Structure 1
Amino acid sequence: MHPHLSTADEALAWLEANGIRRVELVFADLTSVARGKILGTASFLETAGAKMPSLLLGLTVTGGEPEAVFDRIFPQTFPDMALRPDWSTLVRDPLAKVPTASILCDIEARFTAADGQRQVNVAELAPRQLLKQMLNRLAAAGYRARVAPELEFFLVHEQRNADGSLQVAHGMSARVPHVESSHDVSSAETAASFAPFFDDLWDACEVQGIPITGYGHEAATGQYEVNFGPGEPLAQADAVFRFKRLARELARRHGCRATFMAKPYLQEPGTGMHWHISLSDVGGNNPFTDSDGSAHPRLRHFVGGWQASARASIAILAPYVHSYVRLQRPDAAPASAEWGYDNRTVAFRIPHSDPANRRLEHRLPGGDANPYLSLALMIGAGLSGMQQRLEPGPETSDRPAVSAAGALPLNLAQALDEWERCPIMLETFGAPFVELYTLIKRHELDEQEADPDFALKHLLDRS
């Protein structure tokens, strides 16, 4: 089980007591790719960390090195950055044959930018540390957050159909595989046919302290959703980051592939990563609830911050050209930045709940979005909304959300234009990250538009 360690001495004692022979040190890049290295335990005990080239934070999803990034930000001398373990994240690797542990790292490095004019602090560019900075800002305002994700993914076969499309994975519970030939929405039988995969996945999640509470078949063929119990935002982002790795590797071991790309099938609903968010103040009270039990104006203002930054935030929540195909089908994903009560067609939903548990659901992120950046964005934009008392547009609770006034960008190029000039995004992430993200994504934009097979070639396993 997850050891729940808090100091280096506790962590090192746990490694020795459990006969751990290797330690994997990883950090999250701008995508869902875990980057890092594996050390023998003796070497890890000696160094309690590692060094890697800082250029790793300037890579595209394909591992490319955009010229603009290395002309303006990262020096071509490729200076080192230090990986500093977060001891609370030390867990056993449940899939390794040799006793192995895995630990998430923050990054330390400062150097002169490639343009020779600025000092770069790598902590301002690393997704996990950006979320930590946002949580510190939230705490300074007197609040704490609890969040719970709902994460969707598809199980597919390696072999494609004759037209180049993906094949839906067949169930694996019996000698005769279960074939999903039509939409088995919420089918317990279809979900049960993948029991060998989900049993192993659930067991692996328990070892790593990933708080999944259930799973089920979703609306599209081959699509599944996993629910997480509520928790502290950084731990939940860590959990999603690790869950994706476990799902992908275990699917491969069971003869199929798990993918979080936004739209594996163009005629089917896409992959979402919805987040439920609640706040508490220093007294443990819900700031979204007034003294008489009604919704406090802060709830509207939080939504107002989301709405005011929605067109820019899509650059994070839909990070690839392919991601926008998901947003162009309003019956399966929000197509405009509207809000309302218990309405699953809006981007920002207020689920029915008692006053003490009043919360919001952000439904824009795709399964291909970075969980750290997504949460930093949601918390930062909502906090800005409360602090500036931003009022949202009219509530949409009794009809499908199709408002042209809240229309989202139609493609990544439009979203990046909004992202660069949005004051809430600048306040949330800071100018250094806004610049880096823009340069990387504009380079990827050119790559994706030049290759019609980019999504299946590069995003199937990396989104």
Structure 2
Amino acid sequence: MHPQLSTASEALAWLQANDIRRVELVFADLTSVARGKILSRASFAETLGAKMPSLFLGLTVTGGEPPQVFKRIFPPMFPDMAMRPDWRTLVRDPLATVPTATVICDLEASFTAADGHCQYQVAELSPRQLLKRVLGRLQAAGYTARVAPELEFFLVHPQRNAEGGLQVAHGMSAQVPHIESSHDLASAETASSFAPFFDELWAACEAQGIPITGYGHESALGQYEVNFAPGEPLAQADAVFRFKRLTREIARRHGCLATFMAKPYLTEPGTGLHWHISLADEAGGNPFTATDSSPHPRIKHFIGGWQASARASMAILAPYAHSYVRLQRPDASPASVEWGYDNRTAAFRVPHSDPANRRVEHRLPGGDANPYLSLALMLGAGLAGMQQEIEPRPEVSDRPASSLANGSERGALPADLSEALAELQRCPIMTEVFGAPFIELYNMIKQHELHEQAADADFAIKHLLARS
């Protein structure tokens, strides 16, 4: 990010000083697909933004347009929404041949819904702006947050095997490619065989200010994890949004595909996006730590907010029908809402740390989850837990968390997306975090995707492999 850029004149001066010829303007839709357009520098200097039809916030992951969305929310005339650049996010596109910059935009529009009864601000439906709203609520309560994601992905071969499934990508560092024929957990040699890919990816991240600190081979075939340094939540969500784009594009340039879909191989562990979250109060202290250095009750209440909304939150954290394969066959993924100290089998973990750095880790999100919506619900639900003093279930620090059968048990997770969506619509904490308009829109889009998937047995690989 460019924290020194705060005005349009400063941004234009930076573009000129760096001989930038084109500017890409993007925003994240509900699926976290990057949508927008590319302008010449001269055109961008005249408009300082762009316009896009509001319907782009009503699309499914396949680009489908659910009819209900245009009967209930978006007017059928497809009115425009303005894309307003966040100048702090203006960075060079390290992959463009022609000198190009890219900037993330917020959205502005006001319109009357198709049914004529409700007036909407498009910011009520924009994932990035929903996160900003939660951060404002957190600040009003006297807190700021720092977060650090851990993101997993798979590198796969572009050609499917004879059975129509995915194949593990071959290493690319030498004339004879490295072939991973069995589990190479934490293998430095296997990771090194993809050095050309990771070297270019790391350089691209540095060019865009994405604070990755390291990577390694994870527990599944062809699976890797990248760690990020702690940072401010909005900047970190922007970083994950950009990282996924860069990873997919650079992989294609090196002859393979990178995917963040939840469970590429049914017999292998799935893809996670874990978030470490800490808070600071107005005096700079850690509100999760008491004056005697012991855990403050607030940390349990924060987790209590997570647990109270966990079943509903899965509609966001596991956003596709395919996402629930990861939960039904969890392997190393949590399958219930239990919590514990330094227990990686639990959904909510309190890692070992000194009192000043006490934090919590949310381990439920899949790699296919929208980073803006994920952070919004985590921070919003945690804040609700503290404000309402919600007590969590007993901890499970000294034993593996149970894999409760899917169902209505308090500690069980939803069996599928339909169940999670039903929970989302009746959860007061999620309504407080996101607002009724967003939840209505999100439910319409996801219900339409469920119908699309029911008609296509190959839906997950066809549509989620390169988009999730």
**Alpha-carbon deviations, 1:20-64, whole Å to 9, x = none?**
000000000011210000000000001100011000000000000
- Alignment correspondent of 2:440: 435
Residues 330 and 402 in structure 1, CA contact (< 8 A), matched pair in contact too: no
- 1:329 deviates by 2.6
TM-score (norm 2): 0.98
CA distance in 1, matches of 2:167, 2:2: 36
Residues 2 and 207 in structure 1, CA contact (< 8 A), matched pair in contact too: no
- Alignment correspondent of 2:135: 135
- 1:3 deviates by 7.4
1:158-197 equivalences in 2 (<5 Å) = 158-197=158-197
1:418 counterpart = 2:420? no
* Counterpart residue identity of residue 189, structure 2: E
CA distance in 2, matches of 1:6, 1:146: 22
CA distance in 2, matches of 1:224, 1:245: 16
The alignment yields a C-alpha RMSD, in angstroms, of: 0.9
1:256 counterpart = 2:256? yes
**Alpha-carbon deviations, 1:307-360, whole Å to 9, x = none?**
000000000000000000001234311100000011111000000000000000
Residues 269 and 330 in structure 2, CA contact (< 8 A), matched pair in contact too: no
**Alpha-carbon deviations, 1:140-166, whole Å to 9, x = none?**
000000000000000001100111110
CA distance in 1, matches of 2:200, 2:370: 24
Residues 2 and 92 in structure 1, CA contact (< 8 A), matched pair in contact too: no
- Alignment correspondent of 2:47: 47
CA distance in 1, matches of 2:424, 2:436: 11
Unaligned runs of 5+ in 2: 405-409
1:364 counterpart = 2:378? no
Q: Percent identity?
A: 79
- Alignment correspondent of 1:108: 108
Deviating beyond 2 angstroms after TM superposition, the runs of 4 or more aligned structure 1 residues are 1-4
Match of 2:411 among 406, 417, 430: 406
1:21-40 equivalences in 2 (<5 Å) = 21-40=21-40
**Alpha-carbon deviations, 1:222-279, whole Å to 9, x = none?**
0000000000000000000000000000000000000000000000000000000000
Unaligned runs of 5+ in 1: none
CA distance in 2, matches of 1:449, 1:276: 35
- Alignment correspondent of 1:243: 243
Residues 334 and 403 in structure 2, CA contact (< 8 A), matched pair in contact too: no
Secondary structure of the structure 2 residue equivalent to 1:397: coil
- Alignment correspondent of 1:453: 458
Secondary structure of the structure 2 residue equivalent to 1:406: coil
Residues 2 and 206 in structure 1, CA contact (< 8 A), matched pair in contact too: no
Secondary structure of the structure 2 residue equivalent to 1:12: helix
- 1:403 deviates by 5.7
Residues 26 and 103 in structure 1, CA contact (< 8 A), matched pair in contact too: yes
Secondary structure of the structure 2 residue equivalent to 1:327: helix
TM-score (norm 1): 0.99
CA distance in 2, matches of 1:175, 1:98: 31
CA distance in 2, matches of 1:127, 1:207: 25
- Alignment correspondent of 1:377: 377
- Alignment correspondent of 2:12: 12
Residues 4 and 89 in structure 1, CA contact (< 8 A), matched pair in contact too: no
* Distance verdict in 2 for CA 1:3–1:295, change over 3 Å: closer
- 1:437 deviates by 0.4
Residues 270 and 330 in structure 2, CA contact (< 8 A), matched pair in contact too: no
Secondary structure of the structure 1 residue equivalent to 2:423: helix
* Counterpart residue identity of residue 252, structure 1: R
382-391 or 320-329, which deviates more? 320-329
1:204-223 equivalences in 2 (<5 Å) = 204-223=204-223
Residues 186 and 217 in structure 1, CA contact (< 8 A), matched pair in contact too: yes
* Counterpart residue identity of residue 318, structure 2: A
CA distance in 2, matches of 1:444, 1:298: 38
